[in-house]
Amino acid sequence: MVRVKNTRPAPASKKAAAKTARRTTQRKVKKKPQQRQMPSWFRHVIAGGIVCLFLAAFFYFFIYPYSYRWKPCYGFKAYGVCMPSGYAVHGIDVSHHQGDIDWKMLAQTRQGKFPIHFVFMKASEGGDYGDKSFAANFDSAQSHGFIRGAYHFYNPKTDPIRQADFFIHSVKLDSGDLPPVLDIEKKGKSEEQLRHDLKLWLDRIEQHYKVKPILYTSYKFKLRYLNDSVFNSYPYWIAHYYVDSVKYKGDWKFWQHTDVGVLPGIREKVDLNIFNGSLEELRSMTLKE
C-alpha cells in the first residue's frame, strides 16, 4: 500500500491566525475620512451673531416703538407721550383696529390742556374693502362736535380709478368736513407708474369733491417717491414718529407724531396728530356749502 502524503498546511498558531484575520478585516473595511470639526471659537461667533440678531429684532419691534415715552420730556406730557411744543390744534386718526370708541368720553378731552379737535377715520382700502367701523365712527365724530375727515388706504396693485370710485361710493362729505385723504405707504410698481396712478386717483377725487385731497405718507416715502412739484401742491400730512420736530423742509399741514397714544374712550393705542396752524385755519380747510 502506497502512503499518500498529507498536503494540507500545518495549522498555524492561534496568535498567527488572529493576526491574519485582523489584516483581512482591515483590508475589507475602508477607512472613513476624518471630518474636520468647526473650531470652537467659530461656533461661539455664530452663536453670538444669532443672539445679537434676536436682541436687535426684539428691540426694533418691542422696545423702540415705546422708547419715545422714556426720553426726557422738556415740554408737556399727555396721552402717554411727550407732546410736540408750539402747536395748539391736536387730533387723532382711527380705524376698526381701535375697536368700539366711547365718543362721549373722548369728547371730554376738549376740556383739557391738549384738546382733540379733529379725527380722521379710515373709510376704504383698495378697490373693495370698506372699514367696518367707518360709518359708526364718522357719524359719532360729527355728533360729538369733532372736525372729521376720511382717508383711503391705497393699494398700488389695484386700478386707481376703481379705488377712487370705491371711496366716492363709501364716503359722503358734508360742509365742515376735512378734504379726503390719500394714504400711500407702499410702492408696489415702478416709481413712474406709481406717480402716474396716484395722480389719476387724486384728480378723480378732486373732480368729485371739488377740493384738493390731502396726501398722507411717511417722511422717507415722500422724499424718495413723491418729491415732485406735482405732489407738493397737495396739503401734506407727514407721518414721522419718535422725533421732537418735523425734519421735512417743505410745506406741511398735519404731522402724525406717534402711534402709541393713550386716550380716554379708546382701548387700543392710537395715532396722535397736530395741525400746523390755528383752529380757525383748520376750519378754513374744510368743505364749504
- The catalytic residues are 93, 185
- The CA–CA distances, whole Å, from 146 to 88, 89, 142, 149, 211 equal 15, 12, 6, 9, 20
Residue with cell 356749502: 289
- Angle ∠(149,215,93) on CA atoms, nearest 5: 40
Residue with cell 471630518: 35
Q: Please, are residues 145 and 185 in contact by the beta-carbon 8 Å criterion?
A: no
Q: How far apart are CA 98 and CA 96, in angstroms?
A: 5
Determine the angle formed by the axes of helices 160-170 and 191-209, rounding to 10 degrees. 30
Q: In this structure, what C-alpha cell is assigned to residue 163?
A: 379705488
Q: How far apart are CA 228 and CA 199, in angstroms?
A: 12
Q: How far apart are CA 199 and CA 193, in angstroms?
A: 10
Task: Enumerate residues 6+ apart whose C-beta is below 8 A from 128.
Answer: 166
Phi, psi angles (nearest 5°) of residue 178:
-75, 155
Q: Please, are residues 235 and 202 in contact by the beta-carbon 8 Å criterion?
A: no
Residue type at 41 in one-letter notation: W
Q: In this structure, what C-alpha cell is assigned to residue 166?
A: 370705491
Q: How far apart are CA 176 and CA 174, in angstroms?
A: 6
